[in-house]
Structure 1
Amino acid sequence: MMQAVTSLPDIFLQMREAGEFVDINLVFGEQRVSCHKVILAGTCDYFHRMFLSDMLESTAKEVTMKDISASTGVSLVHFLYTGRINITSQNAQDLLAASEMLLLGSLKQKVEEFLRSNTDSMNCLSTLSLARLYDMKTLMEDAKKFLHEHMREVTDSEEMHLLQEDDLIETLEANASQEHKFCFIQKWIRSADARTDRFDDLVQHEILKEKCGSVLTIKFNIGNRCRSPQFSVGGGISKGTASAVCYSYDVHDNKWNELPPMFTARNQHSSIFYNNHLYIVGGINSNTILDSAEELDMESLRWSRLPPLPHPVCQTCLAIVSDNLQVFGGIQSKSTWIDDVWEFDLNERVWQQRAPMPEGCEGGAAVCLDDHVYIVGGKNRTCAQFNPSQDTWTSLQRPQFTHRFGPALVWNKNIIIFGGEENKTIEKYSPSTDTWSEWMLKMPTKGGMRFVVKI
């Protein structure tokens, strides 16, 4: 089998161009190219077999080459006569298709070498697709390596819709930059309409573990562009003492920035992000439960004190609906979990008491959906809906598993709750049917992971 096209004496090309001794025309669209059968058969397995067969083309004076454009056809004939060809980003895919059709392994190799040397962040994913389509293993390895090493640049390309889910997962697992994974997944999800349902099986890549009782707030945008994701970390325990230190991590700049410290050092506090402000509520300092609350303006980077809470509290659940900060339950004293609900008007700057929860929720989570707040999970498998406008509670179907200190979020009008201190189960709650279902996907480990995600 012929695999290499070697350079023929230039005289054969000159004879073809002069029309001397040509005995067949190859038709590429509207373009007719005169050739010598012996040259075609001697340099290309496809034509060698054609001219030796009983096919009509073996004796025909003209052969129509379907699916090959005129420009590609002219380049192919030049390659068969000279062994030389001009490969560009524009014609590489057409040449690959033609090399497969005409059994031209040498041409396929030349195109693969060109693609390997010209892979960049703007064509990496299309190159990977071509490598898989035409079974070019070396090119596939190179493209995947480039993807893993330039994950951030590829995120900004217009080719994200070409990335297959298996390649996405492989890239996330290979890339050690945890802070970039959220933006990468978001870009992949919104790059094609049919991908939103795949979040269920990818969400474990968006979980960051809380350390030392500090509170982690993650701000994201899943709209048309992924805009400056930031991580804000504040408080916690440092060398056995409550801390007031705060930091933010800017994904695009790839660096941590120190923020002004809180007025009061604290741990086991709660936080929530709203309208470019970070709110900190309650917590513990030197074994004393706090009634203080603070807010940080992320533009001016100035902290301000809110009026004190009506009573000290830590490990509470927070939600914000219609410019009202709501504080649900928590620990008031001696590890007693309360069912109190307090609301702070962010405009009027005053606290007022709301209807208590149906039950105390030890280690539960709060999420907002359609101007209602849902308290879910916890030690007692709570699921209750609060209607702020009516100041009423509705008890709902309980989760199947205990999710003490398991985080929760809203996705596609459903509530997702993740693991907890005692299990790795992930459950989905459908408010429209008041039912829970278990995911096949599990958390990577048990533990009180916490996060706040703004999507």
Structure 2
Amino acid sequence: MAGSGAYSGGLSVGHMRSPGVVREERMAFCVWPNTPEVFPFKDSELSSHLLSQLNILRQDRVLIDVLLCSENTEIPCHRNVLVSSSPYFRAMFCNNFVESSQGRVDLKGISPEVLLDVVDYVYTGSINISMDNVVPLMQAASMLHYGRLFQACSTFLQAQLSPDNCLSMIRLSEILHCDSLKEKAKEMAVRSFSDVAASEEFCELSLPELMSYLEDDRLCAEEEQVFETLLAWIHHDPFSRRGAIHDLFKQVRLRYIHPTYLFQFIANDPLVQSSSLCTEIIDSVRRLMRSVSAKCGSELKPLWTTPRRYTCRETLVVVGGRKNNEQTSREALLYDERTQRWQWLAKLPLRLYKAAYVCIHSILYVLGGLSLSLASGESSVSATVYTLSLKTNQWRTAEAMLEPRYAHQSVSYLHFIFVLGGIGVNKQISNSVERYNSMFNQWEAMSPLPTAVLHPAVAANDQRVYVFGGEDAMQNPVREIQVYHICRNLWSRLETRTVKNVCAPAAVIEDKIYIIGGYTRRMVAYDTKANQFVKCENLKERRMHHSATVINNKLYVTGGRFLNGHDIIEDSDCFECYDPKTDVWTSKGTLPYKLFDHGSLPLICISNRPNLP
């Protein structure tokens, strides 16, 4: 019987069975392999049920041991619930403070309505936050150390942010010591700087506050607007603020301002002229530009070498060319790297055959070309220059070139645009060279090319313009490099069998000039420092009449014409990217249509979207 009583496998106390039956029952309850001996059970509803029951006890005043008081309102509570919910109440009730033994606790500075909302939150975990109660609720949450409630209020306010109220929100965040709200409001202010800077509240900023905006790399504004903003701030209270012009002026990134604006508007502004330190900076920039040097003195270097703001990003623009082998195109397209889609910009005013394309100071230039009249069927060689800014998305005419020309080459360097060769009104290949000086808004004739060539690869680097190959008037390839020394206005020539490109673009990455194709699959990089060629990964097809440009130190190649496997020339809508670090080509999809003899350029786009690449 003692043995039976110790066994709990199903035998009732007092039952007597034979030993054989007992053995069978024991075998029925034995533990099989891989069967868990412990069943972990977690009641997911217990915590919410417990909180609900505590709230019912509070409402029925059962086991209440403290009253939280505000003005004439008493709110019954349980000390242990308050202690468990907040470090503030834990310190109050679990230490030798007088409140630990009191039945009534007055909470000054919190209205009855807000205190009741907080207590309801403690007992239910829920609360309704609105613009009517968010500020006092946030103050109470800060005082009583309810961190999650405080952050919930901050999240609510962040959702209400707009350019109209972000400066007020920054001031509120400073009063409430809320870093998360302050950072989001500041982000809104720098992203919507144009709208914010036009407000009356902006003019009331202190000097340190204004400085914090102007030096912010996230500021979404062109540098011209940065200058105009600091002027408006000073003119709001000129008597006390004019002395700040030098400190504010140093926040303007002069390198990215158009020279015409800098030397005609900024340099002549009375406030700038009143500061000897500002005029010294402008004079240093003027000397640097006139020296045609990319290197600056120690006094200007910290200002001149400051990088662009994060909101300025290079985007690819494709313009002009022959579309689908039908007619000269007026289209201009912008490629959005993040969406990998093409956007249509304003159309060129007219169709231009074999114009030249270049970008300088965030402005796209279309120079010359053969103008075709569909009505009369006649054509004329043009000297007209059209410009496009992404800011306005409108085409305008600029100072015309000295000579009409088409099938010419153009390249930018510092504040210059160089135009080389091409075909003039006499239908002859020209060796003339002219350059546009954006500092003085004028064209000037330069030393001519030693050898007149068509369709060379052209690039500028380290105070020199390089002209690789091309073909002469008899369509024979010219195997030489013609080098133009910008400072001396002199040409030199270097014969080399390595050069054999025709209708190939060139692009510069660091100190290497990449020559891409040209009736060949070959791509080579010319090291300007070592004066030698380096072979790179080949193109997939023999390519010509294509275009190439550099964005973020990668080479983007668009369109062109290629020789297929049967040696038949076809038009291309190819869009590829080359990474010099890995020596690898990657497909970027296709252009919206087949295109050749077009321009492919990097333009600076200012975007207020966060997390720019």
Shift of 1:438: 1.9
Per-residue CA deviations over 1:286-340 (Å, capped at 9, x if unaligned) read 4322111101111112221112212322332211222111111223225444333
Q: Does 1:371 align with 2:511?
A: yes
1: CA distance, partners of 2:367 / 2:123 = 74
> Equivalent of 1:427, from 558, 576, 580?
576
User: How much does 1:394 deviate?
Assistant: 3.3
TM-score (norm 1): 0.58
For 2:523 and 2:389, how far apart are their aligned partners in 1? 35
* 2-structure distance, mates of 1:353, 1:331: 15
Instruction: Could you tell me which runs of 5 or more consecutive residues in structure 1 were left unpaired when the two chains were aligned.
Output: 1-15, 51-61, 79-90, 99-110, 127-146, 163-183, 191-197, 221-228
Q: Distance in 1 between matches of 2:76 and 2:340?
A: 61
Quote the residue 1:273 is aligned against: 412
- Letter of the structure 2 residue corresponding to residue 23 of structure 1: P
What one-letter code is carried by the residue in structure 1 that aligns with 2:511? D
After TM superposition, the structure 1 stretch with the greater mean CA deviation from structure 2, 313-322 or 412-421, is 412-421
Return the alpha-carbon distance in structure 1 between the equivalents of residues 587 and 528 of structure 2: 30
- Which residue among 456, 466, 477 is the counterpart of 1:316? 456
In structure 1, what is the equivalent of residue 185 of structure 2?
Answer: none
Structure 2 partner of 1:444: 592
Q: Distance in 2 between matches of 1:159 and 1:381?
A: 42
CA contact (8 A) 1:358 1:395 kept: no
Letter matched to residue 425 of structure 1: C
Tell whether the 8 Å contact from 2:218 to 2:310 is kept in structure 1 after alignment: no
Matched, 1:295 2:435: yes
1:237 paired residue number? 370
Q: For the aligned residues, what is the CA RMSD?
A: 5.0
CA positional deviation for 1:272: 0.8
Matched positions, count: 336
In structure 2, the CA distance between the partners of 1:329 and 1:67, relative to structure 1 (3 Å rule), is farther
Alignment of 1:92-131 (within 5 A): 94-95=152-153, 97=155, 115=160, 119-120=162-163
Over 3 Å counting, the alpha-carbon distance change for 1:265 and 1:121 in structure 2 is farther
Cα distance in structure 2, aligned partners of 1:122 and 1:295:
49
State the one-letter code of the partner of 1:19: N
User: Separation in 2 of the partners of 1:271 and 1:328?
Assistant: 13
Q: Partners in 1 of 2:456 and 2:192 — Cα distance?
A: 37
TM-score (norm 2): 0.45
- Give the superposition deviation at 1:344: 1.2
Distance change in 2, residues 1:206/1:402 (3 Å):
farther
User: What SS does structure 1 have at the residue aligned with 2:439?
Assistant: coil
1:306 aligns with 2:446: yes
Q: Which residue of 1 aligns with 2:356?
A: 215
Post-superposition Cα deviations, 1:244-286, rounded to whole Å, max 9, x if no partner, equal 1123345557765543322210111111111201100011124
Partner residue, 2:333: none
Asked if residue 348 in structure 1 is aligned to residue 488 in structure 2, the reply is: yes
Q: Is the 8 A contact 2:555 2:577 kept in 1?
A: yes
* Contact 2:558 2:600 (C-alpha < 8 Å) held by counterparts: no
Q: 1:275 to 1:290 in 2, by over 3 A?
A: same
Matches within 5 A, 1:336-415: 336-356=476-496, 358-415=498-555
> 1:134: which partner in 2?
none
Q: 1:364 Cα deviation (Å)?
A: 1.4
**Aligned residue type for 1:236:** G
Q: What is residue 76 of structure 2 aligned with on the other side?
A: 23
Matched residue type, 1:428: C
Structure 1 counterpart of 2:457, one-letter code: C
* Pair 1:403–1:97, CA change in 2 (3 A): same
The structure with the larger Rg is 2
Deviations 1:2-50 (A, max 9, x none): xxxxxxxxxxxxxx8543453349888759568699x86xxx9x95xx9
The amino acid that maps onto 2:368 is G
2:311 to 187, 196, 202: 187
Q: Distance in 1 between matches of 2:488 and 2:139?
A: 80
What SS does the corresponding residue of 1:235 show, helix, strand or coil? strand
**Correspondence for 1:3:** none
Shift of 1:428: 3.0
Could you tell me which residue of structure 2 aligns to residue 327 of structure 1?
467
Quick one: structure 1 residues 454 and 322, their matched pair in 2 at CA, closer, same or farther if it must change by over 3 Å? farther
2:592 counterpart letter in structure 1: P
Aligned residue for 2:400? 261
- Given that 2:480 and 2:499 are in contact with CA atoms closer than 8 Å, whether structure 1 keeps it comes out as no
Q: What is the CA–CA distance in structure 2 between the aligned matches of 1:311 and 1:294, rounded to whole Å? A: 15
| Aligned mates of 1:277, 1:67 — CA distance in 2 | 64
Q: Distance in 1 between matches of 2:489 and 2:341?
A: 36
Q: Which moved more, 1:352-361 or 1:23-32?
A: 23-32
Listed as ranges, the gaps of 5+ residues in structure 2 are 1-68, 90-106, 141-148, 170-187, 198-212, 221-307, 315-335, 374-378, 562-570, 605-613
Find the aligned partners of 2:386 and 2:139 in 1 and give their Cα distance.
Answer: 64
1:415 Cα offset (Å): 2.6
Q: Distance in 1 between matches of 2:542 and 2:192?
A: 37
Identity %: 16
2:587 and 2:414 map into 1 onto residues whose CA distance is: 33
Question: CA 1:325–1:28 in structure 2 vs 1: closer, same or farther (change >3 Å)?
Answer: same
Q: Find the counterpart in structure 2 of residue 195 from structure 1.
A: none
Report the CA distance between 1:189 and its aligned residue: 5.2
